[in-house]
Amino acid sequence: MKNQYQNPLFSSTKLFNARLHLANLISYFIFFVFGLTFGIIISFYLKDMSLNLQVTQFSFSASTSSTPPPLSLSLSLPPPPPPPPTTKTPNNTARIGLKQYLQLPEDLMHDMNDKELLWRASLTPKIHEYPFNRVPKIAFMFLTRGPVLLAPLWHKFFKGHEGLYSIYVHSDPSFNQSEPANSVFRGRRIPSKEVEWGNVNMIEAERRLLANALLDFSNQRFVLLSEACIPLFNFSTIYSYLMNSTQNFVEAYDLPGPVGQGRYNRHMGPTITIQDWRKGSQWFEMDRDLALEVISDEKYFSVFQKYCKGSCYADEHYLPTFVSMRFSEMNSNRTLTWVDWSKGGPHPSKFIRTDVTVELLKKLRSESNCEYNGNSTNVCYLFARKFTPHALDRLLRFAPRIMQFNR
Ligand SMILES: *[C@@H]1O[C@H](CO)[C@@H](O)[C@H](O)[C@H]1NC(C)=O
Ligand SMILES: *[C@@H]1O[C@H](CO)[C@@H](O)[C@H](O)[C@H]1NC(C)=O
Ligand SMILES: *[C@@H]1O[C@H](CO)[C@@H](O)[C@H](O)[C@H]1NC(C)=O
Ligand SMILES: *[C@@H]1O[C@H](CO)[C@@H](O)[C@H](O)[C@H]1NC(C)=O
Ligand SMILES: *[C@@H]1O[C@H](CO)[C@@H](O)[C@H](O)[C@H]1NC(C)=O
Ligand SMILES: *[C@@H]1O[C@H](CO)[C@@H](O)[C@H](O)[C@H]1NC(C)=O
């Protein structure tokens, strides 16, 4: 194009100037027409957009829609303001990670009612592999009336094994003494309700204990104990026994006669039939999977709530029946808590001071024979009851030596 103006044919500079002028005018005109068309298109586009925005209930003012902003304005929008100057650099340690999400409140006392607690405790990971090093713990759950009477013996038992156990105590709500400052039981009391022994609300208390213990994801095995229970082995032995166990320890047997099948109520059918009915000790030991099933059960528990009252003794039948009906293949059907029924009557023998001897403790540790993970063993019981506070001083004298506490 430029060559045209330098063509030697246009000798007159005047003519050349006029032509140049015309060419400029034309190019201005073309530029103007382009600009106008562009402007019209843009204004239509903006009108259309503002209409759409109004239709979709966005809070755009009417002025924006009637007078589209000049193009120059939208082109010369100020750059986004720089982020406000930060006085401190980002602190990585203050960021929220998985640890914070899993953090439990320090205090075991909470205001959740049972319905809320059971629901919260039933939340469970679907991915079974933990994305961190999870050290499994045993939850020792004490169901007591008042204080844990044999606490000094348990102190010796737990000493040196911090991080491998957690303690939960469900005592009568009227019991308000606090544990000494250095006690492992201090601050381990969970919100409780009054428990009538043998009644269905005893199972509620057991479920409450399980649910509170399930909130801690590192609890893997759950053992229910009374204030009259003692350990029969040292912590390491009990820990290995439970962590290696492929089975749960919920005692369950079928017993004809008045104190077994005789307690069955036919209104429990067809959910629970007389063939399903089982009896057993309420002092159980179970793994996390079964604990989750127990606190989530509504079907069988509601039948017990309705039809197992008074001399039905729900605490001796609910778990044996429920576990036998639903999870019997994982159950050893035996209890880990030794008790002496040999003297007969409705209550087992109590061991007072003079009953506690080296021979007795040795006998309880290894006298019988039973099955463990499909093999025969003479370690059938890890705990024993019922020991009175009067037996404490002799227990403290013999137990650490026989049970090899911390050696
Ligand atoms: C980061 O936060 C932690 C705890 O929140 C604090 O101890 C630490 O001093 C902070 N570090 C910096 C550099 O701000
Ligand atoms: C404990 O309860 C008793 C009544 O049962 C009451 O007299 C006492 O003041 C309570 N003590 C504390 C520390 O709350
Ligand atoms: C399971 O048993 C094996 C062999 O007896 C032992 O080495 C291991 O430490 C046990 N596991 C636990 C968690 O104690
Ligand atoms: C426990 O009892 C059930 C029957 O209720 C049975 O199927 C199961 O095999 C028993 N488990 C063991 C380990 O004996
Ligand atoms: C249990 O018995 C099986 C074979 O039945 C054997 O392989 C296993 O080592 C035994 N376990 C123990 C702890 O003795
Ligand atoms: C626990 O007792 C066993 C024997 O039952 C013994 O071999 C072991 O050394 C004891 N462990 C501790 C930590 O004392």
pLDDT at 27 exceeding the cut of 60: yes
Torsion of CA 181, 182, 188, 194, to 10 degrees: -60
- Does residue 71 lie within any of the structural domains? no
- For residue 63, the surrounding DSSP H or E stretch is helix 62-66
Cα distance between residue 38 and residue 29, in whole Å: 14
Query: What is the arithmetic mean of pLDDT over 278-293?
Result: 97
Return phi, psi of residue 30, to 5°: -60, -45
pLDDT digits (tens, 9 = 90+) for 73-99: 444 555 666 666 556 666 666 788 998
- Does residue 184 lie within any of the structural domains? yes
- Does residue 407 lie within any of the structural domains? no
Cα distance between residue 332 and residue 371, in whole Å: 8
Helices (H), ranges, 90-182: 98-102, 114-122, 151-158
Q: Is the CB of 76 under 6 A from ligand 1?
A: no
- Reading the block at residue 336, the tokens are 């880990």
Which domain range does residue 237 map to?
Answer: 102-336
Least confident of 12-26, 68-82, 325-339: 68-82
Nearest one of 346, 345, 267 to 313, comparing CA atoms = 346
245 CA from centroid of ligand 3 (Å)? 10
Q: Which residue has the higher pLDDT, 396 or 22?
A: 396
- Does residue 390 lie within any of the structural domains? no
Number of domains in the chain: 1
Question: What ligand 4 atom has the least distance to the C-alpha of 333?
Answer: 1
Q: Is the CB of 75 under 6 A from ligand 1?
A: no
SS3 202: helix
Q: Which residues pair with 169 in a beta bridge?
A: 142, 189
pLDDT digits (tens, 9 = 90+) for 341-389: 888 877 888 988 888 999 999 999 998 999 999 999 999 999 999 999 9
- Reading the block at residue 60, the tokens are 């755009």
Cα 169 to its chain centre, rounded Å, is 18
Cα distance between residue 122 and residue 339, in whole Å: 32
Q: Going by DSSP bridges, is the β-strand pair 337-338/370-372 parallel, antiparallel, or unpaired?
A: unpaired
Helices (H), ranges, 274-391: 288-296, 299-307, 318-326, 358-366
Please check whether residue 110 is in contact with residue 191, taking contact to mean a CB–CB distance below 8 angstroms.
yes
Return phi, psi of residue 337, to 5°: -110, 110
pLDDT digits (tens, 9 = 90+) for 212-230: 999 999 999 999 999 999 9
pLDDT digits (tens, 9 = 90+) for 286-324: 999 999 999 999 999 999 999 998 889 999 999 999 999
* Nearest ligand for residue 241 CA: 3
Query: Which string of b and e fits 35-49 if b means at least 16 CB within 10 Å?
Result: eeeeeeeeeeebeee
Where are the strands (E) in 83-239, listed by range?
137-143, 165-170, 219-226, 230-231
Q: Is the CB of 71 under 6 A from ligand 3?
A: no
pLDDT digits (tens, 9 = 90+) for 28-48: 767 666 666 766 666 656 555
Q: Residue 178 — very low, low, confident or very high, per pLDDT cuts 50/70/90?
A: confident
Q: Is the peptide bond before 270 cis (omega within 30 degrees of 0)?
A: yes
Nearest one of 221, 137, 211 to 170, comparing CA atoms = 211
* Per-residue model confidence (pLDDT) at position 45: 61
Q: CA separation (Å) from 147 to 104, 118, 172, 308, 395?
A: 25, 25, 9, 29, 18
Please check whether residue 230 is in contact with residue 152, taking contact to mean a CB–CB distance below 8 angstroms.
no
- Does residue 358 lie within any of the structural domains? no
Q: Is the CB of 407 under 6 A from ligand 6?
A: yes
- Does residue 204 lie within any of the structural domains? yes
Domain with 301 in it: what CATH number?
3.90.550
* Nearest ligand for residue 164 CA: 3
- Does residue 91 lie within any of the structural domains? no
Q: Residue 8 — very low, low, confident or very high, per pLDDT cuts 50/70/90?
A: very low
Q: Is the CB of 233 under 6 A from ligand 6?
A: yes
* Per-residue model confidence (pLDDT) at position 66: 45
- Does residue 343 lie within any of the structural domains? no
| Residue owning the nearest CA to atom 6 of ligand 5 | 375
Nearest one of 160, 301, 157, 162 to 235, comparing CA atoms = 157
% of residues, the chain, pLDDT over 70:
78
Cα distance between residue 168 and residue 246, in whole Å: 24
* Per-residue model confidence (pLDDT) at position 84: 60
Q: In what order do the strands lie in the sheet with 165-170?
A: 165-170, 137-143, 219-226, 285-287
Q: Is the peptide bond before 386 cis (omega within 30 degrees of 0)?
A: yes
Please check whether residue 168 is in contact with residue 139, taking contact to mean a CB–CB distance below 8 angstroms.
yes
Query: What is the arithmetic mean of pLDDT over 148-170?
Result: 96
When the pLDDT of each residue in the chain is averaged and rounded to a whole number, the result is 85
Task: For ligand 5, pick from 375, 377, 379 the residue to mutate: most ligand atoms within 8 Å of CB.
Answer: 375
| Residue owning the nearest CA to atom 9 of ligand 2 | 176
pLDDT digits (tens, 9 = 90+) for 181-218: 999 999 999 999 999 887 899 999 999 999 999 999 99
pTM assigned to the model: 0.78
